[in-house]
Amino acid sequence: MSGLQINLTEIGAETFLLEFSGALDEASGERLPELNSARYVFDLSKVVRVSSAGADVWCRWIRSQDKKKSQITLRKMPPCFIRVANVITDVIPKTWEIESFFVPYISASQSASENILFEKDRHFSKTELVIPPKVQGEIEPQALEPDVHPAKYFRFLWHRWPEMNIKTLS
């Protein structure tokens, strides 16, 4: 039995929310649904692990659904999903929209860490990525700073939009 769970909810006319949770692994193929020509929002916030076999299952599923002309939006991609997408570009097809993703932040003393949500049109667009150098943690109320190397962590964005510039706020 796969560790991946998927909850499907209709959120509008011909629009569905798929909430993925658990581990995307070799057994996940049996859980991935058939898509039609509707619009889908994939909420990946509760995906905790993506194995290499799981990435292969995901890519095969994407290719099998490609001819159905579904409109896919990715929401709240976790770091584990982004790390795989940075290595395997087929994980996020260029026709899919990216609405939001998480970026790891850590305190200066390394006593607290938190994933901060980056949202389209607020933190990124096709031409620019804005990285706040410090944010206030919601879980631990202290200043946090990015815990990623921008050239590596945000590679999945450059695969889509090579002209994108990074801007770090002061």
Per residue in 110-167, pLDDT tens? Answer: 888 999 999 999 999 999 999 999 998 887 778 999 999 999 999 999 999 999 998 8
Once rounded to an integer, what is the mean pLDDT over residues 19-36?
Answer: 92
Could you tell me if 10 and 89 lie in one domain? yes
Could you tell me if 87 and 107 lie in one domain? no
Of 64, 98, 132, at which residue does a domain stop? 98
Could you tell me if 129 and 142 lie in one domain? yes
> Of 26, 31, 29, whose CA–CA distance to 7 is shortest?
31
Of 67, 98, 129, at which residue does a domain stop? 98
Domain residue limits at 159: 101-170
C-alpha neighbours within 13 Å on the C-beta side of residue 149: 4
Of 48, 82, 98, at which residue does a domain stop? 98
Q: Which pLDDT belongs to residue 1?
A: 42
Could you tell me if 119 and 94 lie in one domain? no
Could you tell me if 47 and 131 lie in one domain? no
Name which of 13-17, 41-45, 141-145 the model is least confident about: 141-145
Could you tell me if 77 and 127 lie in one domain? no
Task: Write the DSSP assignment of 87-133 as a string of letters.
Answer: H-GGGS-TTSEE-EEEEEEEETTSS-EEEEEEEBTTTB-SSEEEE-S
CATH of the domain at 81: 3.30.750.24
Could you tell me if 110 and 61 lie in one domain? no
Confidence of residue 170 (pLDDT cuts 50, 70, 90): low
Has residue 50 got a pLDDT over 80? yes
Could you tell me if 142 and 83 lie in one domain? no
Count how many domains the chain has: 2
Q: Which pLDDT belongs to residue 84?
A: 97
Could you tell me if 9 and 82 lie in one domain? yes
Name which of 11-15, 56-60, 73-77 the model is least confident about: 11-15
Sign (positive or negative) of CA dihedral 121, 126, 127, 128:
positive
Once rounded to an integer, what is the mean pLDDT over residues 43-48?
Answer: 98
- Report the mean per-residue pLDDT for the chain: 92
Has residue 2 got a pLDDT over 60? no
Could you tell me if 106 and 93 lie in one domain? no
Once rounded to an integer, what is the mean pLDDT over residues 81-97?
Answer: 95
